[in-house]
Amino acid sequence: MDSMYDVRASARTAQRTGGMLDAGRRLVAALWEHAEVRLELLTVELAEERARIVNAALAAGLLVVFAQLASVFIGVCVLVAVWDTSYRLWTAIALPILFAIGAFVCYMTVRRLISRETPLFRHSLAEWRRDIEEMSDSAKSS
C-alpha cells in the first residue's frame, strides 16, 4: 500500500510542479507582452517627437531666410524713398539699429521657447505610472 500512496503523491507533486511552471510561463509571457506594448508606444512617441523637431527646424530655417529677405528689401525701399532728402544718413544708421533690435527680440523669444520644458514620452510615462498604481492597488487588496 505504501508504494501505491507514493505513486499518487508523486503524481500530485508533478501536477503541482507542472501547474506552477505553466503559471510561471504565462506570467512571463504576460510581462513580455506588456513590455512589448509599452515599447511600441515609446517608439511611436519617439517618431512623433523626431518628426515634430524636424518640421520645427525646417520651418525655423525658412522663417530666417524669408525674414532676412524681407528685411533687406524693406531696408532698400526705405533708403530709396529717403535718398533725395537730408535724412538719408540718419535712415542708413537707423535701419541696422532697428534690425538689431528685432534680432534681439527674436533671440529672446527663441531662448524662452527652448528653455520651456516639454515632457518627452509623456504618454508612456503616464501609462507606466498607471500600471504601477494598478499593481500597488492589486497588491494591497490581495
What ranges in 1-142 are assigned the alpha helix state H?
2-81, 88-115, 122-141
Record the pTM.
0.49
pLDDT value of position 97: 92
Residue with the larger pLDDT of the pair 133 and 84 = 84
- Quote the CA–CA distance of 52 and 31 in Å, as a whole number: 32
Q: Output the average pLDDT for the chain.
A: 80
Amino acid at the residue 60: A
pLDDT top residue among 86 and 125? 86
Q: Centre a 10 Å sphere on the Cβ of residue 78 and count the other Cβ atoms it contains.
A: 16
* Most confidently predicted of 5-19, 30-44, 83-97: 83-97
pLDDT above 60 for 11:
no
The b/e string for 95-128 (b: 16+ C-beta within 10 A; e otherwise) is: beeebeeeeeeeeeeeeeeeeeeeeeeeebeeee
Tell me the C-alpha distance between 32 and 115, whole Å: 37
Q: What is the pLDDT of residue 101?
A: 92
Give the pLDDT of residue 123: 72
User: Does residue 23 carry a pLDDT above 70?
Assistant: yes
